[in-house]
Amino acid sequence: MSSLETPLHKVRGLGASHSGTGHFWRERLTSAALIPLSLWFAYAIVGLIDTNEVTIVSFLAKPWNAILMGLFVVISFYHLNLGLQQILDDYVHAPGMKLFLRLVVTVVWIIASVIAVFALVRIAAL
């Protein structure tokens, strides 16, 4: 199999928004990446219970913790974006509104990711 397209997609030349298979695999890949990152995040949060802000900032100032937190946040936002796109494709039927909402969702996840990474860089640079 040279591509990840389903047989029905090849026959009809269509899919969910004409790219359903790629969307499916991106969603599964982000889900798989979030499993170890979520376990690390839960472990980190449990370890930071009953600590003060200085301890939390010093925890995030360590390079590996900052990198893992950045990956967790960005991949989580991207996974959220993929899920919301699927919801919009399934439940919003007006083409103009669908395009507008997809644009809003995409812009919001990019801005939120940039702000989170910027904050982590500022913390790590202290």
Token pair listed for 46: 């449990």
> What is the average pLDDT score of the chain?
89
Query: In angstroms, rounded to a whole number, what is the distance separating the alpha carbons of residues 10 and 13?
Result: 5
* Residue 26 covered by a domain: no
pLDDT on residue 39: 98
- Res. 9: pLDDT tops 80: no
Distance of CA 38 to the CA centre of its chain: 12
Domain count, the chain: 1
Neighbouring C-beta atoms of residue 14, cutoff 10 Å = 11
* Residue 100 covered by a domain: yes
Q: Are 70 and 35 in contact (CB under 8 A)?
A: no
* Residue 105 covered by a domain: yes
* Residue 6 covered by a domain: no
Helix axes 53-61, 95-124, angle to 10 degrees: 100
CA angle 82, 71, 79 (to 5 degrees): 10
- Give the structural domain span for 90: 34-124
| Over residues 26-46, mean pLDDT | 97
pLDDT on residue 107: 97
pLDDT band at 61 (very low <50, low <70, confident <90, very high): very high
* Residue 94 covered by a domain: yes
* Residue 43 covered by a domain: yes
pTM: 0.81
DSSP class of residue 50 equals T
| Over residues 1-12, mean pLDDT | 64
- Res. 15: pLDDT tops 80: no
The amino acid at residue 124 is: A
CATH number reported for the structural domain that contains residue 66 in this entry: 1.20.1300
pLDDT band at 19 (very low <50, low <70, confident <90, very high): low
pLDDT on residue 125: 85
